[in-house]
Amino acid sequence: MKIPRPQPFQKRLVIVGAGFAGLTLARKLDADYFQVVLLDRNNYHQFQPLLYQVATAGLEPSSISFPLRKVFQRKKHIVIRMTEVRSIDPAFRKVYTGLGELQYDYLVLAQGATTNYFNLTQLQQHAYSMKSVSEALLLRNTLLQNYEKALNETSLEESSALLNVVIVGGGPTGVELAGAIAEMKKKILPKDYTELNFKQMHIYLLEAAPRLLNGMSPSSGITVKAYLEQLGVEVQTNTSVKAYDGEKVVLDNGDFIQSKNLIWAAGVKGVLIPGIPSGSITSGNRILVNAYNAVKDAPQIYAIGDIATMQNNEWPKGHPQVAQAAIQQANLLAKNLRCLVTGESPVAFQYKDQGSMATVGRNLAAAEIGRVRLKGFVAWFVWMWIHLISIIGIKNRLLILINWVWQYLTYDQSLRLIIEPASKNKTKSTHE
What was the pLDDT predicted at 415? 76
- Output the pLDDT for position 114: 93
Instruction: Indicate if 159 and 248 belong to the same structural domain.
Output: yes
Query: Which of 178-182, 212-216, 266-270, 408-412 has the least mean pLDDT?
Result: 408-412
**Mean pLDDT computed over 146-170:** 95
Q: Say yes or no: 125 and 256 in one domain.
A: yes
Average pLDDT, the chain: 93
Domain endpoint, select from 219, 249, 265: 265
Q: Say if residues 160 and 258 touch (Cβ distance below 8 Å).
A: yes
Confidence of residue 267 (pLDDT cuts 50, 70, 90): confident
Domain count for the chain: 2
Q: How far apart are alpha carbons 130 and 138 in whole angstroms?
A: 9
Give me the CATH number covering residue 330.
3.50.50.60
In a domain, residue 174? The reply is yes
Task: Give per-residue pLDDT as tens, 189-220.
Answer: 999 999 999 999 999 999 999 999 998 999 99
* Residue ending a domain, choose from 211, 246, 265: 265
Q: Are residues 280 and 337 in the same domain?
A: yes
- Residue 425 is predicted with a pLDDT of 62
Residues 167 and 211 in one domain: yes
Cα(268)–Cα(15) distance, integer angstroms: 21
164, 260: one domain: yes
pLDDT at residue number 423: 63
Considering the domain architecture, whether residues 174 and 188 belong to the same structural domain is answered as yes
Pick from 250, 264, 55, 251: which is nearest to 174 by CA? 264
- Are the beta carbons of 96 and 50 closer than 8 angstroms? no
**What gap in Å lies between CA 232 and CA 204, rounded to an integer?**
9
Instruction: Point out the domain boundary residue: 320, 342, 364.
Output: 342
Residue 432 pLDDT grade (very low, low, confident, very high; cuts 50, 70, 90): very low
Residues 6+ apart with CB under 8 A from 265: 129, 130, 167, 168, 169, 171, 173, 174, 177
State the Cα torsion 66-70-74-80 to the nearest 10°: 90
- Which has the closest alpha carbon to 37: 21, 26, 24? 26
Indicate if 214 and 82 belong to the same structural domain: no
The mean pLDDT value for 143-158 works out to 94
CATH number reported for the structural domain that contains residue 130 in this entry: 3.50.50.100
Asked if residue 178 lies in contact with residue 205, where contact means CB atoms within 8 angstroms, the answer is yes
pLDDT at res. 416: 85
345, 339 in Cβ contact below 8 A?
Answer: yes
Share above pLDDT 90 across residues of the chain, in percent, rounded to a whole number: 88
How many CB atoms lie under 10 A from the CB of residue 1? 16
What does the pLDDT look like over 8-52, one tens digit per residue? 999 999 999 999 999 999 999 999 999 999 999 999 999 999 999
- The pLDDT score that the predictor gives to residue 90 is 96
Residue 48 lies in a domain: yes
Is pLDDT of 430 > 60? no
Q: Is 45 among the domain residues?
A: yes
Averaged pLDDT for residues 121-133: 93
Whole domain around residue 102: which residue ranges? 11-115+268-342
CA angle, 159 as apex, 155 and 160 as ends, to 5°?
120
Residue 429 within a domain? no
The whole-number pLDDT of residue 420 equals 78
pLDDT, residue 97, reads 97
Residue 110 confidence (pLDDT): 97
How far is 316 from 325, CA to CA, in rounded Å? 15
pLDDT bracket for residue 431 (50, 70, 90): very low
Share of the chain above pLDDT 70, in %: 97
Instruction: HSE, CB side, 13 Å, CA atoms: give it for residue 405.
Output: 7
Write down how long the chain is: 432
291 with 315, same domain? Answer: yes
Same domain, 137 and 250: yes
Average pLDDT over residues 128-140: 94
pLDDT class for 386, splitting at 50, 70, 90?
Answer: very high
**Do residues 131 and 248 both lie within one domain?**
yes
Compute the distance between CA of residue 382 and CA of residue 340 in angstroms, rounded to an integer: 39
Whether residues 251 and 286 share a domain: the answer is no
Distance CA 107, CA 92 (A): 12
Residue 316 placed within a domain: yes
Average pLDDT over residues 361-389: 94
Q: Is residue 255 located within the same domain as residue 140?
A: yes
Kindly report the number of other CB atoms within 10 A of residue 385's CB atom: 10
- Does residue 403 form part of some domain? no
Residues contacting residue 108 through CB under 8 Å, at least 6 positions apart:
13, 14, 15, 16, 22, 25, 301, 302, 303, 304, 333
Cα gap 357→216, rounded to integer Å = 8
Contact yes or no for 364/178 (Cβ under 8 A): no
C-beta separation of 232 from 186 below 8 A: yes
Tell me, yes or no, whether 242 lies in a domain: yes
Do the domain assignments include residue 15? yes
